Amino acid sequence: MLYVVPTPVGNMEDITLRALRVLKEVSLILAEDTRTSSVLLKHYDIHTPLRSHHKFNEHATADAMASEALVRDIALISDAGTPAISDPGFMLVRSCVEKGVEVQCLPGATAFVPALVNSGLPNDRFYFEGFLPQKKGRQTRLKALAEQEHTMIIYESPFRLDKTLQQLAENLGLDRRASVSREISKKFEDTQRGTLAELIAHFKEQPAKGEIVIIVEGKKSKSESIDGQ
């Protein structure tokens, strides 16, 4: 069996009892970065063998790992959050499904859910964009997001936050409401809310640190625009 196991995005306590049991009982843990995962495993006194499985080798190793999962239980973890959500994992899960390996994804931490709820924007329907392309295709995606009517979720690095907020404002309008959450579940967790113009001004004065989740209001539908008039 392959177990897909979410790990904390910040606070070490944000892991389930079931996840800890699985990580202790499986024969092998596949980790995005064994150095990062070793800290978590040491904290919980877990001694299961670790092996690297990351975006640079998953093309080559997914099939072989799926074959191993036919004969022994394996767990897949990422550096933080749920594997395969803007992290390695999809290729391994697909290979396991194709080979008839049972896959169980445990419920647990993922960064965008608390960011979405904390934003105060509608969350009955939402669109998960993940990381925007850094170069090729970026403008195409931004133009597509300008027409998206559901609340949007974007992952970003603190080093590109200013650029991304500016580009969102250029394509969606300075008055579009949004929020920026950082350091989710950590000591200095923070969420800033406002228009894109207000957020641009804020982060020019106070540069962001830590992993970032941007939540952006969707485009108003024609019926909403008419009602608003």
CATH code of 36's domain: 3.40.1010.10
Domain that holds residue 6: 2-105
How many Å separate Cα 121 from the centre of its chain?
18
Count of domains observed in the chain: 2
Report whether pLDDT(97) > 60. yes
Cβ 164 vs Cβ 139: under 8 Å: no
Mean of the per-residue pLDDT values for the chain? 94
User: Do the Cβ atoms of 11 and 29 come closer than 8 Å?
Assistant: no
Q: What is the mean pLDDT of residues 184-190?
A: 93
pLDDT bin (cut points 50, 70, 90) of residue 229 is: low
Same domain assignment for residues 196 and 125: yes
d(CA 207, CA 2): 40
Q: Percentage of the chain surpassing pLDDT 90?
A: 90
pLDDT of residue 73: 98
Percent of the chain with pLDDT over 70: 97
pTM: 0.90
Same-domain pairing of 37 and 116: no
Q: Residue 193: beta bridge partners?
A: 179
CB 215 within 8 A of CB 113: no
- Cα separation of 77 and 39, whole Å? 13
> In CATH, what number is assigned to the domain containing residue 217?
3.30.950.10
pLDDT at site 55: 85
Position with higher pLDDT, 206 vs 225: 206
147 vs 183: CA distance, rounded Å: 29
Q: Which helix (H) or strand (E) holds 137?
A: none
Looking at residue 45, its amino acid is D
Q: pLDDT tier at 149 (50, 70, 90 boundaries)?
A: very high
Co-location of 189 and 132 in the same domain:
yes
Look at residue 228 in the predicted model and tell me its pLDDT.
57
Which pLDDT value is given to residue 101?
97
pLDDT at 57 (0 to 100): 86
Q: Computed from CA positions of residues 69, 73, 79, 81, in that sequence, does the dihedral angle turn out positive or negative?
A: positive
Q: Residue 168: which of 130, 121, 200 has the closest Cα? A: 200
Whether residues 122 and 137 share a domain: the answer is yes
Q: Determine the pLDDT at residue 56.
A: 86
Is the pLDDT reported for residue 27 higher than 80? Answer: yes
Domain termination site, one of 88, 105, 122: 105
Mean pLDDT computed over 91-100: 97
φ, ψ for residue 51, nearest 5 deg: -140, 145
